[in-house]
């Protein structure tokens, strides 16, 4: 079953000091005019582990770098610096052939089930393509059989194989995307907002399917979502991102029930809850996310933080242990016991 | 609070809106009854294709060909709106009833500054403005700045000269709310006002609507798929499925004691932060096509507790005052 060092001990995925900067000078416009560009710091020194069989949930507002992180880990976007290890092997050092081989073990499910499937290919072609690219089917018969098996695994029928994406609903399309990610029998999947585009009852079907598949196939997920309740449901551990940095990380229960970073606390207090009818006081979080083109100095959250002091405006805080396997990057973490209550 | 004895602000009875398509007649709204009372916030919950947006597009007179209102009555302050001349309807829109659209980027005109779009509404609808040109221009500008400030846009005087693309998603949603509220309507219909926004911005926008509702004493219809938003902001809730209302009641009643299997399924399929570890139970299947629906309960194909009598048209049944459910088993409670 598993190949390429995925049986080595330690976490399956180990990310260290990952940095991704986008240089606006690189564009055609920038080169022609020779204007000094601006560096967009999409990821800034991000480190984390994902254990075997674990789901790490990633939350944060749009523009915080969640999706960039998911893609940089798979080297779909080339990281600027830092290290990504998969089963002990340095993914960032692999050449094209070795990377292709590695991609059999690491896959991605995209947010938009409308844009991520080629409208001119049938389900059989879309789902079977990875097998063909990796030469894993000896003939058409085997390709068809393997494709049919995985399609049934995700709750579609073999009768669907020769249809085109537009003949399916959003939920069914997401199942096609999941089948494509699973057909190579990977160990690790980046789920990038896999249920955000779906209706509530369909969302539940897909969340359920992803958890069933994880159990049956022994998968490991990096699960990206802006829906905090969904993250709470699927995750073993949770990481909270703000402007390209992880500001808090720990066991799901600790981060969601005993959040220590003021940003996590305000994020959680903004989630409307069915079980607490009536208006609640939200922890004041003024304004929008600052532009990553000109992030504020010091702690990047200080412009919106209700507790910010002088040190926050000048010195960037380092992640500090606040509990077992639980860290928060905040100067005030000692005094900030419970802001929300 | 609300005076239940007085006439509701908006009364819809037996509304049917259909779209003629190549494949047949799509009955997007099929026999909807609803009341919006003075000063209340009514939540409309349902998935895509449930008819929630089309119901209120019908109220606003915004259903375009090939769609049309087949039948039913829409009364606003006792006045019948169906069959009203377009010019009369236009007077009512903006001044008495205003609607914000789900996608602020496409709803705003990209070629006009937000100031131009905001003052346009005031010029068209506000009868209290002075007639003399110079005085009128100054008054309109003052009102526009005041509205921008009300929805929390920093330095409104300069921002009025910006175009929609120069604002973030949350800001654009606020600007649309500012335009909708410019003439102090009696009823605000907010169609998915926060769907595209982050939770932090969502909380700001919803708090803003709630504050303005209190300040102006207006009624609000909040169309959403998020039951958490309903729980936090709405007095009453109406659940729609496949073009029909399937359950109504106070928010507390419907959430604590849902009686329709669809409402129960919806509540069971949502992960909740406060109930981590509880397994979600999705509803199997999907919403039926709205063409040539058989004369039976529309949830029949997905219902876990269906019976023989469900294979007939099911009428709304009153469980208590203001509490209605479209299910033959509604009296039995949660199965």
List of residues 6+ apart from B310 with CB closer than 8 A: B296, B297, B300, B303, B328
What is the mean predicted confidence (pLDDT) over B251-269? 94
Banded pLDDT at A36 (limits 50, 70, 90): low
CA gap B273, A328 in Å, rounded: 20
Element (H, E) at A106: strand A106-109
Mean pLDDT of chain A: 88
Report the pLDDT averaged over residues A85-98. 94
What pLDDT was estimated at residue B203? 87
pLDDT score of B125: 85
Q: Which residues of B touch A274 (CB under 8 A)?
A: 227-228, 231, 255, 267, 270, 272
SS (H, E, C) A220-276: EEEEECCCHHHHHHHCCEEEEEECCEEEEEEEHHHHHHCCCCHHHHHHHHCCCCCCC
Phi-psi region of B31 (alpha: psi -120 to 50; beta: other; left: phi over 0): left
Q: How far is CA B209 from CA B150, B177, B178, B190, in A?
A: 10, 8, 10, 9
Q: In this complex, which of B265, B273, B282 lies closest to A273 when CB atoms are compared?
A: B273
Is the pLDDT at A338 greater than 60? The verdict is no
- Residue in chain B closest to A227 (alpha carbons) equals B199
Residue-wise pLDDT for A109-168, tens only, equals: 998 888 899 999 999 999 999 999 999 999 999 999 999 999 999 999 999 999 999 999
pLDDT in tens, A133-145: 999 999 999 999 9
pLDDT of residue B170: 80
Which among B170, B109, B175 has a CA at the least distance from the CA of B144?
Answer: B175
Q: Residues of B308-324 as b/e, b for ≥16 C-beta within 10 angstroms?
A: eebeeebebeebeeebb
Residue A162: the pLDDT is 96
**What is the per-residue pLDDT across A221-259, written as a single tens digit (0 to 9) for each?**
999 998 999 999 999 999 999 999 999 999 999 999 999
Confidence label for A6 from pLDDT (cuts 50, 70 and 90)? very low
- Whether residues B199 and A226 touch (CB distance < 8 A) is answered with yes
Residue of chain B with shortest Cα separation from A156: B285
Q: Give the model's pLDDT for residue B198.
A: 82
Q: How crowded is residue B173: how many other Cβ atoms within 10 Å of its Cβ?
A: 30
Residue B135 main-chain phi, psi, to 5 deg:
-60, -40
**Contact residues on chain A for B269, CB-CB shorter than 8 A:** 200-201, 203-204
pLDDT, residue A279, reads: 66
* Minimum distance, in Å, between the CA of residue B4 and any CA atom of chain A: 21
* Residue B254, Ramachandran bin (φ over 0: left; ψ between -120 and 50: alpha; else beta): alpha
Rounded Cα distance, B238 and B42, in Å:
7
The overall pTM is greater than 0.90: no
A232: nearest CB among B47, B266, B271: B271
Packing angle of the helix pair A262-269, B199-216 (nearest 10 deg): 50
Test B274 with A203 for CB contact under 8 angstroms.
no
pLDDT, position B149: 85
Pairing mode of beta strands A13-23, A106-109? unpaired
Cα–Cα dist B194/B172, whole Å: 11
Which residue intervals of A183-218 are DSSP H helices? 200-217
A contacts of B267 (beta carbons < 8 Å)? 274
Contact A181, A213 (CB under 8 A): no
Cα–Cα distance, B223 to B41 (Å, whole number)? 10
Contacts of B274 (CB under 8 A, 6+ apart): A273, A275, A276
What DSSP line would sit under B94-154, residue for residue?
HHTEEEE-S-HHHHS-TTS-HHHHHHHHHHHH-TTS-SSHHHHHHHHHHHHHHHHHHTT-S
Residue numbers in B near A201 (CB within 8 A): 47, 265-266, 269, 282-283
DSSP state of B17: E
pLDDT in tens, A184-228: 999 999 999 999 888 888 899 999 999 999 999 999 999 999 899
DSSP β-ladder status, B24-36 and A55-59: unpaired
Distance, in Å, from the CA atom of A195 to the CA atom of B285, rounded to the nearest integer, reads 16
Residue B321 in this model has a pLDDT that exceeds 60 = yes
- With a CB cutoff of 8 Å and minimum separation 6, the contacts of A228 are A59, A256, A267, A268, A271, B199, B273
Nearest-neighbour CA in chain B from A74: distance (Å):
26
Q: How far apart are CA B31 and CA B24, in angstroms?
A: 19
Strand pairing class (B67-76; B10-21):
antiparallel
Residue range B122-171, pLDDT digits in tens: 988 887 888 889 999 999 999 999 888 888 888 889 999 999 998 888 88
Q: Do B271 and A207 touch (CB under 8 A)?
A: yes
Share of chain B above pLDDT 70, in %: 98
- pLDDT at position A263, please? 94
pLDDT class of B104 with cuts at 50, 70, 90 = confident
The nearest CA of chain B is from the CA of A308 a distance in Å of: 18
The DSSP line for A17-68 is EEEEEEEGGGSHHHHHHT----EEEEEEEEEEEE-TT-EEEEE--TTSSHHH
* Cα–Cα dist A237/A175, whole Å: 25
The two three-digit tokens of residue B214, written as one number? 């209190």
């Amino acid at each position: 079953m598993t190949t390429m060092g995925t049986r080595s001990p330690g976490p399956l995925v180990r990310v260290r000091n990952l940095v991704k900067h986008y240089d606006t000078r690189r564009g055609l416009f920038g080169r022609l005019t020779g204007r000094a560009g601006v560096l967009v710091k999409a990821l800034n020194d991000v480190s984390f582990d994902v254990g075997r069989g674990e789901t790490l949930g990633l939350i944060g507002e749009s523009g915080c770098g969640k999706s960039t992180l998911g893609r940089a880990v798979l080297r779909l976007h080339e990281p600027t610096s830092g290290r990504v290890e998969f089963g002990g092997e340095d993914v960032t050092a692999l050449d094209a052939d070795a990377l292709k081989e590695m991609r059999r073990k690491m896959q991605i499910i995209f947010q938009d089930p409308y844009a991520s499937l080629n409208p001119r290919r049938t389900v059989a072609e879309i789902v079977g393509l990875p097998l063909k690219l990796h030469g894993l089917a000896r003939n058409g018969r085997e390709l068809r059989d393997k494709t049919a098996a995985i399609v049934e695994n995700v709750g579609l029928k073999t009768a669907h194989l020769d249809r085109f994406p537009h003949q399916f609903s959003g939920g069914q399309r997401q199942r096609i995307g999941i089948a494509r990610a699973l057909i190579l029998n990977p160990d690790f999947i980046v789920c990038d907002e896999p249920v955000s585009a779906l209706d509530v009852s369909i969302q539940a079907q897909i969340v359920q399917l992803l958890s069933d598949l994880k159990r049956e196939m022994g998968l490991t997920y990096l699960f990206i979502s802006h829906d905090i309740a969904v993250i709470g449901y699927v995750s073993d551990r949770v990481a909270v991102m703000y402007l390209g940095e992880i500001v808090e990380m720990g066991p799901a229960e600790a981060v969601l029930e005993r959040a220590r970073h003021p940003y996590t606390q305000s994020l959680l207090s903004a989630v409307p809850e069915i079980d607490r009818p009536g208006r609640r006081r939200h922890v004041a979080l003024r304004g929008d996310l600052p532009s990553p083109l000109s992030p504020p100095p010091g702690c990047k959250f200080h412009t919106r933080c209700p507790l910010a002091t002088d040190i926050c405006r000048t010195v960037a805080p380092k992640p500090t242990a606040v509990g077992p396997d639980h860290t928060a990057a905040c100067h005030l973490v000692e005094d900030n016991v419970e802001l929300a209550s | 609070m609300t005076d239940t004895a007085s006439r509701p602000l908006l009364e819809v009875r037996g509304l049917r809106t259909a779209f003629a398509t190549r494949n047949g007649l799509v009955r997007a709204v099929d026999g909807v009854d609803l009341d919006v009372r003075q000063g209340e916030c009514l939540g409309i919950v349902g998935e895509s294709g449930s008819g929630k947006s089309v119901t209120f597009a019908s109220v606003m007179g915004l259903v375009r060909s090939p769609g049309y209102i087949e039948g039913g009555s829409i009364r606003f302050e006792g006045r019948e709106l169906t069959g009203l001349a377009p010019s009369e309807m236009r007077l009512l829109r903006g001044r008495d009833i205003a609607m914000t659209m789900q996608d602020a980027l496409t709803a705003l005109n990209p070629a006009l500054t937000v100031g131009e779009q905001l003052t346009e509404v005031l010029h068209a609808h506000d009868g209290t403005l002075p007639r003399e040109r110079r005085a009128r221009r100054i008054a309109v500008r003052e009102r526009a700045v005041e509205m921008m400030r009300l929805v929390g846009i920093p330095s409104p005087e300069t921002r009025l000269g910006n175009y929609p693309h120069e604002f973030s998603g949350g800001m654009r949603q606020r600007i649309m709310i500012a335009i909708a509220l410019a003439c102090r309507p009696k009823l605000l219909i907010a169609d998915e006002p926060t769907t595209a926004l982050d939770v932090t911005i969502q909380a700001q926008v919803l708090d803003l609507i709630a504050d303005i509702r209190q300040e102006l004493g207006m009624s609000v219809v909040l169309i959403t798929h998020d039951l958490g938003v309903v729980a936090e902001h709405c007095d009453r809730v109406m659940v729609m499925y496949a073009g029909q209302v399937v359950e109504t009641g106070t928010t507390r009643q419907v959430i604590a004691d849902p009686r329709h299997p669809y409402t129960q399924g919806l509540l069971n399929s949502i992960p909740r932060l406060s109930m981590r570890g509880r397994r979600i139970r999705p509803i199997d299947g999907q919403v039926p096509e709205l063409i040539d629906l058989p004369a039976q309960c529309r949830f029949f194909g997905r219902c876990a507790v269906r019976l023989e009598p469900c294979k007939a048209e099911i009428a709304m049944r009153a469980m208590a005052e203001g509490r209605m459910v479209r299910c033959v088993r509604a009296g039995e409670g949660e199965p």
